[in-house]
Amino acid sequence: MNNTTPPKGCKYIAIMLVVFALFCTGLGFYTLLRILYGVVIR
């Protein structure tokens, strides 16, 4: 295992942290459902 984490990995982790934070608030979950629902319709 390499000690140096790839930039893509760091970016992915950062995005996951943001998504997790929004998910915890509940507001993010509602927004995510609306986005997914909109994508499905299109």
Residue 29 has pLDDT above 80, yes or no: no
- The pLDDT of 22-28, averaged and rounded, is 74
Q: Give dist(CA 9, CA 15) in Å, integer.
A: 10
Residue 16 lies in a domain: yes
Please give the pLDDT value at position 5: 56
| Number of domains within the chain | 1
Residue 38 has pLDDT above 80, yes or no: yes
Mean pLDDT over the full length of the chain: 77
Residue 17 lies in a domain: yes
Residue 32 lies in a domain: yes
Integer CA distances (angstroms), 31 to 6, 11, 41, in order: 30, 21, 15
Please give the pLDDT value at position 6: 60
Q: Give dist(CA 37, CA 10) in Å, integer.
A: 28
- The pLDDT of 17-26, averaged and rounded, is 78
Domain enclosing residue 28, as ranges: 7-41
Let me know how many helices (H) and strands (E) the chain has, helices first: 2, 0
pLDDT confidence tier of residue 2, bands split at 50, 70 and 90: low
